[in-house]
Structure 1
């Protein structure tokens, strides 16, 4: 239970009781990370159902659907996205990029990329048909993105060997944690395909492409992963899943 509380206290704004961040509890915290996505997805699904019942317009629907995951996560992953964009846009060597990730100041490229990201994601939420099985697929996206993010964190090498991500990964039994997170990924993937082979398959394809990009980019640019890069992946993965669902829905509608 301490591990679960630590995970929610760190990666969400959901109120949690205070517990000691002892080594044994930290060693299992990342295994609960996908459960935060389940909670966020449940809230998101509730909004999609409510929006359909009240016939809320696409602009208001898209704005709330975009902001709910960010608000519930405390924008911690969006912060990592911004820091990573700053580092990538610097075109410096690997050591300098890692220094930029640690810098608490916000650069111009972080603001520009964040604005573009929110604009594109908002437009996608305005375009998607978030009803029926598609709504369930979209609601399961946050759980899959966190399952994959956690799996990468315990599988790929840490670029710095220190930092917030290392605080969670160093005490854990890597093999057991990897096994738990693989189960999370398999269950989420199976759930997506069971809910809707078309929309769920599209979401999986989007997530897969995000994984491929993240794997190549993180090694080429940083030599591994960090907490900021994990946040960058989570944000891009969720956008890619919604984008893939929108594209499939448009293609099916035309055909």
Structure 2
């Protein structure tokens, strides 16, 4: 159990972890521990909000923390996938060419453009949420929900290639048990989010599920299957839309 959590945090976060051997046993349920990284991010974001309000920091400082904390915890692994996917989509090439672009380690112009747009939108939403003193509990739930759905996708969706990060975790996973666990966890988290956070919880849950459905039925079809880069795109877009839901529900 401990080795499984260590493997998940070693791969999907920048949090220092003790060294452990990556074996079939430790990899089998590593995807099940993926949402724990979301729990860490959610706790830090809520703690940062508490500190900023208590110390009467500027809304911009609070907003900057909302944008930066997830990157600090994850080490930017999902942003890397977001950038690669942006380059591939902007190429408007066939599936094979898109997959080649995903493998290219260089950052293209469209990746830089979309990354800039992403952070501008995220910062604008975060500043608005800070100015409204919006409760971020629903967003904290959202970080766990997005990773539950991402892990579910890796264990369930067809893969674009027989190599890479997504393939490695999918290949070693006990897919049936992982799918069941993550599907139930995502459902439970959505229900708890709605109960605890009211309309914000409903908004965050709808944003997460809506992004997941687009991811499954539109985006993955463009690449012939799932890859680690597409999984990163999903996590980033899910976080952005969940933050938008938190802001929008303040107006309802």
| Pairwise TM-score range, normalised by the shorter structure | over 0.9
Which stretches in structure 1 are left out of the alignment for 5+ residues? none
Q: How does 1:79-98 map to 2 (within 5 A)?
A: 79-98=80-99
Structure-1-length-normalised TM-score: 0.95
Kindly state the Cα deviation for residue 194 of structure 1 after the two structures are TM-superposed: 1.4
Kindly state the Cα deviation for residue 55 of structure 1 after the two structures are TM-superposed: 2.0
The number of residue pairs the alignment matches comes to: 250
Question: Is the 2:87–2:110 contact (alpha carbons within 8 Å) kept by the matching residues of 1?
Answer: yes
Question: Is the 1:3–1:25 contact (alpha carbons within 8 Å) kept by the matching residues of 2?
Answer: yes
Structure-2-length-normalised TM-score: 0.96
Q: Residue 135 of structure 1 aligns with which residue? A: 136
What's the CA shift string for 1:140-166, capped at 9, x where partnerless?
Answer: 211111011111111111111221111
Question: How many angstroms apart in 2 are the aligned matches of 1:188 and 1:100?
Answer: 35
Which stretches in structure 2 are left out of the alignment for 5+ residues? none
Q: Residue 9 of structure 1 aligns with which residue? A: 10
Tell which deviates more after alignment, 150-159 or 213-222. Answer: 213-222
SS of corresponding position for 1:170: helix
Question: How many angstroms apart in 2 are the aligned matches of 1:164 and 1:207?
Answer: 23
Q: CA RMSD in A?
A: 1.3
Kindly state the Cα deviation for residue 131 of structure 1 after the two structures are TM-superposed: 4.9
Question: How many angstroms apart in 2 are the aligned matches of 1:204 and 1:99?
Answer: 34
Kindly state the Cα deviation for residue 223 of structure 1 after the two structures are TM-superposed: 1.3
Question: How many angstroms apart in 1 are the aligned matches of 2:170 and 2:122?
Answer: 30
The runs of at least 4 aligned residues of structure 1 exceeding 2 Å deviation read: 129-132, 216-220
What's the CA shift string for 1:66-106, capped at 9, x where partnerless?
Answer: 00001110000000000000000001100010011011011
Question: Is the 1:144–1:185 contact (alpha carbons within 8 Å) kept by the matching residues of 2?
Answer: yes
Q: Residue 163 of structure 1 aligns with which residue? A: 164
Question: How many angstroms apart in 2 are the aligned matches of 1:137 and 1:110?
Answer: 29
Q: Residue 144 of structure 1 aligns with which residue? A: 145
Question: How many angstroms apart in 2 are the aligned matches of 1:78 and 1:131?
Answer: 27
Q: How does 1:141-220 map to 2 (within 5 A)?
A: 141-220=142-221
Tell which deviates more after alignment, 122-131 or 51-60. Answer: 122-131
Kindly state the Cα deviation for residue 115 of structure 1 after the two structures are TM-superposed: 0.6
Question: How many angstroms apart in 2 are the aligned matches of 1:184 and 1:223?
Answer: 27
Question: Is the 2:146–2:239 contact (alpha carbons within 8 Å) kept by the matching residues of 1?
Answer: yes
Kindly state the Cα deviation for residue 220 of structure 1 after the two structures are TM-superposed: 2.5
Question: Is the 1:202–1:248 contact (alpha carbons within 8 Å) kept by the matching residues of 2?
Answer: yes
